[in-house]
């Protein structure tokens, strides 16, 4: 039986804590020997999608590319922790459809924090 992967998609406004939470989850899973990879919006924007801007079309392309990578990781039994603003419901729905095993976590925090 092959290990089952899943993508945990952290979404929310900039500064809400998506990356911080994903890092903590990653550390806890690694400590237990669970195969895990983290895809972070800021890191991806500096590598895989550096050619894209911030128009709606570019944001959708960004999420489409990330969803493809997350799908490959998930398919091979990895827990993929993806932290992206992904502001449009339709783009998250496409990611969910592309990936399959998908948990969406909305991260929010008071603006003062």
Instruction: Find the domain containing 60 and state its range.
Output: 1-6+34-113
**Does a structural domain hold residue 19?**
no
Question: Does the residue 23 lie in any domain?
Answer: no
Residues with Cβ within 8 Å of residue 36, at least 6 apart in sequence = 25, 26, 29, 30, 78, 79, 80, 81
Q: How far is CA 22 from CA 1, 43, 55, in A?
A: 27, 13, 26
Sheet holding 102-106, edge to edge: 36-40, 79-83, 6-11, 102-106
**For residues 113 and 18, is the Cβ–Cβ distance under 8 A?**
no
Percent of the chain at pLDDT above 70? 97
- Please check whether residue 86 lies inside any domain of the structure: yes
User: With 80 as the cut, is the pLDDT of residue 11 above it?
Assistant: yes
Active-site residue, selected from the candidate residues 14, 55, 83, 86: 86
For residue 79, the domain's CATH number is 3.40.50.300
Does some domain include residue 104?
yes
- Quick one: pLDDT band at residue 2, thresholds 50, 70, 90? low
Task: Provide the number of structural domains found in the chain.
Answer: 1
Residue 1 has pLDDT above 70, yes or no: no
Q: Please indicate whether residue 86 is annotated as part of the active site.
A: yes
Which of the pair, 107 or 112, is modelled with greater confidence?
Answer: 107
Any idea what DSSP says for residue 30?
H
33 CA to centre of own chain: 20
Does 40 map to a domain? yes
In a domain, 11, yes or no: no
Q: Is residue 44 part of a domain?
A: yes
**pTM, to two decimals:** 0.92
Domain presence at residue 24: no
Residue 79: beta bridge partners?
6, 36
């Amino acid at each position: 039986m092959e290990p089952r992967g899943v993508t945990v998609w952290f979404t929310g406004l900039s500064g809400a804590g998506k990356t911080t939470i994903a890092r903590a989850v990653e550390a806890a899973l690694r400590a237990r020997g669970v195969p895990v990879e983290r895809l972070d919006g800021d890191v991806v924007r500096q590598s895989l999608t550096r050619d894209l801007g911030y128009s709606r079309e570019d944001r959708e392309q960004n999420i489409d590319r990330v969803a493809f990578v997350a799908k490959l990781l998930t398919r091979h039994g990895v827990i993929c922790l993806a932290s992206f603003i992904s502001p449009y419901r339709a783009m998250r729905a496409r990611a969910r459809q592309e990936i399959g095993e998908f948990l969406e976590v909305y991260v929010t925090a008071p603006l003062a924090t």
